[in-house]
Chain A
Amino acid sequence: MRDQDVSLVIGGDAGQGVESSGAGFSSALARAGYHIFSIADYRSRIRGGHNFYQIRAATRPVASHLDPPALLLALTAESVELHLESLAPDAAVLYDSSFRLDAGAVERSGRLAVPVPMNEIAMRHGSKVMMNTAALAAAASLLRFPLQRMEAVIRQNFARKGERVVEGNLAVARETYEQVRRSPAAARFRYRLPGLPGQPERMLLHGNHAFCLGAVAAGCRFVAAYPMTPATTILEWMTAHAEPLGIVTKHAEDELAAICMAIGAGFAGARALCSTSGGGFSLMTEALGLAGMTETPVVVVDVQRGGPSTGLPTRTEQADLLFVLHASQGDFPRFVLAPGDHVEAFETAMRAFNLAEKYQTPVVVLSDQFLASSLRTLDFGRLRRDAVPVERGKTRRPGEPPLPGERGPGGGQEDGPAAGRDGYLRFAFTPDGISPRVLPGDPEAVYGAPSDEHDEAGHITEEIDNRKRMMEKRMRKLETALAAGEMRGPRRVGPAEAEVTLLAWGSMLGPASEALVLLEREGVRANLLHWCDLWPFAGEAAERELRRVRRGVVVEQNYSGQFRRFLRMTTGYEAEGLVRRYDGRPLEPGEIARGVLKEVGAGVR
């Protein structure tokens, strides 16, 4: 079987159903056996403005979108103007025959112009709304994608709207499919997606879906959030599954309430999650410190979008890194994890809940719009729950047997304050900084947790020696986590020895990995170091890898090169180059490869 790797774009106005058309076609292609990676590029407005959806279908697993597209499905004349130049030289442009469009210009650019009376067919069968169906059927026909696969998706998607709608759409699809199949242009189009027989069924999921699956696998029982793009789907997915899974979800009045509710639930003993984007996270910062000070487990996922302020609400960026690392006043231990892809998002969610409870402190997961909203296929079995078993550390429920060190003078320290009548010190000084935690409700362990500095028993105090020891105790948890090997060094993709090393974090794993292949084609031997675990930073592991780097180029989605600065801050390593993008659009492998070549210039080879 020939290797196939085809990208196509559906372009149209906001309000034209570009997203649902793209998702529907992605689903049809996935069921036909292809590996899919899709991204939506949509504006914040509900109606108006150009939107597009890019689908990549391949015969092998793919980790990123990839330019150039071989097919443009234009729902407006404007999309032809906008996308023509970015298409493959032998691409086809499918558009409605009624568009006032210079087909000659399309042909002169070398691309194939395929006008189809999609609107007319749709109208004839009842409604202009069905034009999207016509367009998808036209694309399917051009790609030699089996009609019955499209029909199955139509049946599924429109089932809720009744038989008449289903039949109308089916009629539109059949007629368009047939008309394009017989058109002379179809014969000249060289890209084919006829379906891959014998492939296993696969999941088709967003990064946010993967994160949610990880959260429920980890026993997440409480989600509070305020809707904010691109994090909203986490709250929605969790809410849709709340009853069968026994999860409390709360759409709060604002982000301050959302994180405080999660902290309250975490204090009660539930594994609690708070999902947001950068703007919401900004509002949550004070409460993040509350969790740190009261040693309350909570997981916050910041699905980054373009900032600052309202910024680019529906677009991607990785510009919250330094903010999240330092957010909230004062010193307190926190974990920061930035999963690279869907599988890692799943695993990171599970790890985040373990870390939050084992170390009794907030964990921030840094995702972004690109990872959160990109749709990709995954084989069943890739999301391995057993990879991260549930661990709560020194935590017990009321009525369970006492934890080691839970009782006794000063929680193990002879010079600690009196343990009070309960003989339990919630914030006992311990060598590893982690104090045995009894969830509220135990008759033998009644205690308070103040946001003020406090002693081992949880009483407010500003006493000097206690303050020093309590600060050291809390911060010691980071050393404990590093010593316990909780934090991973970089993942290396590609050869051990390379001329150029890409240095990336978070969602850039896929595009940067694919860029290696393109660089190889250019004769550049490159590899990639990718970081998911950012804080506490596994410095030794990072330095070990960085010592082998000949020429390092950081690849990230922000203006100021935050990860480059972060590497300098943590390891003293100064990357030679920086490939960045800050226009809200995800870096694409070809763009990364070109950027890397430019950064290291003539020096390669």
Chain B
Amino acid sequence: MSVDQRAGAGRGDGRLPDGRHGPGRGLTARDYMTEQRPTWCPGCGDFGILAALREALLQEGIAPHEAVVVSGIGCGSKLPDYMRVNGFMTLHGRPLPVATGFRLANPAMRVIVVDGDGDAYGIGGNHWLHTCRRNPGLVHLVENNQIYALTKGQYSPTTEQGTRTTTSPEGSIERPVNPIRTALAAGATFVARGFAGEPKELARLIREALHHRGYALLDILQPCITYNKVNTYDWYAERIVRLESEGHDPSDFDAAWARAGEFGERIPVGVFYRTEEVPAYEERVPGLKRGPVVERPLDDLDEAAFEALERELV
């Protein structure tokens, strides 16, 4: 088995199977490949997310050096190690603030956060809530497998109530977080849900997120083939309904709120809510009016300006 195949790439020589290339920049799927072999379990939903992200960047013409993928800690947070892109694999729960810092220092680069349900909705929950209302230009892909897989099977913030795991042998007591509604309530300006089992559709959603002005949350239903025997590929596939084909209007907050309440027999996927009316955080930061701070020379404070600072202290 070749590395490329293992890594869930497109087919053949790295070109996309239907002969498509990145629009106009000479990019091919191969540009996003590395030699690294994922350590994910065979059939892991993360493969679908990896394939979708590469496809989305390719289709958007975003070259590997123009993006940075900031991840947390968990199976899926190893993703930036498995594709050719700038990567920063940070701490459990902390990729959002790291990514925000990066974005504010260099808004010329595309910043994508990849983490899991434990990272985003659990240990990093505070950052998540504040990121929603802050609205920095980040695309946030949450690999939501409803379990802690890297620590081998404990319940997560999205685990369904009553699930037996090693830390809930009698069944988990807490009700799961509803990430869509929580994000809506916290003021997120782009809230969507995708499914790792349909990477083409997922890639389309990531592209939409990349087009969004501010913070874009994409909660991704991700089967964990090893530790989650309930929320399987087929379990999701049977329940998925498409907001788009059901005539949902993503500009309608109340409709989004109503649809976000569905998670059971029907699980809506697609864009729940989107508004481009709210400027991205970095658009309003006074210190960025002169452009990305990383691009300015470090010694651009001239003698007169420094003396003026001193004179304020007289």
Contacts and interface: CB of A to CB of B under 8 A. Distances in A.
Contacts of A248: 104-105, 285, 287-288, 293
A439 B101 contact: no
Contacts of A205: 313
Contacts of B289: 243, 246
A422 B84 CA distance: 10
Given A202-B314, A246-B290, A294-B88, A268 B298 contact: no
Interface string A360-401: 000000000000000000001001010000101000011000
Given A246-B296, A448-B80, A270 B105 contact: yes
Given A398-B65, A446-B65, A459-B36, A245 B105 contact: no
A443 interface: yes
A216 B89 CA distance: 29
Given A243-B286, A446-B64, A459-B36, A250 B88 contact: no
B183 to A, nearest CB: 16
A440 B84 CA distance: 13
Given A449-B88, A451-B91, A253 B130 contact: yes
A421 B288 CA distance: 34
Contact of B287 (A209, A245, A422, A450): A245
Contacts of B286: 242-243
B76 to A, nearest CB: 13
Contacts of A294: 88
Contacts of A112: none
Interface stretch (A102-110, A143-151, A257-265, A486-494): A257-265
Contacts of A266: 101
A452 interface: yes
A264 B313 contact: no
A451 B90 contact: yes
A507 interface: no
A482 B99 CA distance: 33
B246 interface: no
Interface in B50-77: 63-66, 68, 70, 73
A447 B80 CA distance: 9
A447 B87 contact: yes
Contact of B81 (A380, A390, A441, A460): A460
A420 interface: yes
Contacts of B35: 418, 420
A439 B91 contact: no
A217 B306 contact: yes
A191 B86 CA distance: 67
A213 B289 CA distance: 21
B65 A256 contact: no
A264 B298 contact: no
Interface in A202-245: 202-205, 209, 213, 216-219, 221-222, 224, 241-245
B309 interface: yes
B126 interface: yes
A458 B85 CA distance: 12
B296 to A, nearest CB: 6
A392 B297 CA distance: 11
Contact of A260 (B98, B285, B287): B98
B213 interface: no
Nearest to B34: A420
A8 to B, nearest CB: 22
Nearest to A271: B298
A261 B100 contact: yes
Nearest to B129: A253
Given A243-B287, A272-B105, A260 B296 contact: no
B258 interface: no
A209 B313 contact: yes
Interface string A433-458: 00000011111111111111000001
Contacts of B109: 268, 440-441
Contacts of A241: 309
Contacts of A441: 65-66, 86, 106, 108-109
B293 A246 contact: yes
Contacts of A265: 101-102, 104-105, 293
Given A256-B97, A398-B65, A268 B310 contact: no
Interface string A299-343: 000000000000000000000000000000000000000000000
B314 A446 contact: no
Nearest to A391: B298
B301 A217 contact: yes
Contacts of A204: 313-314
- Nearest 7 pairs between A and B by C-beta? A264-B101, A219-B298, A448-B87, A261-B101, A243-B286, A260-B97, A265-B105
Interface of A: 31, 201-205, 209, 213, 216-219, 221-222, 224, 241-250, 252-254, 256-258, 260-272, 286-287, 290, 294, 380, 383, 385, 390, 392, 397-398, 418, 420-422, 439-452, 458-460
13 contacts: A205-B313, A216-B309, A246-B289, A246-B293, A247-B287, A257-B100, A260-B91, A267-B88, A268-B106, A272-B101, A442-B65, A446-B85, A459-B81
Given A213-B306, A459-B34, 4 more contacts: A219-B299, A257-B126, A265-B102, A268-B105
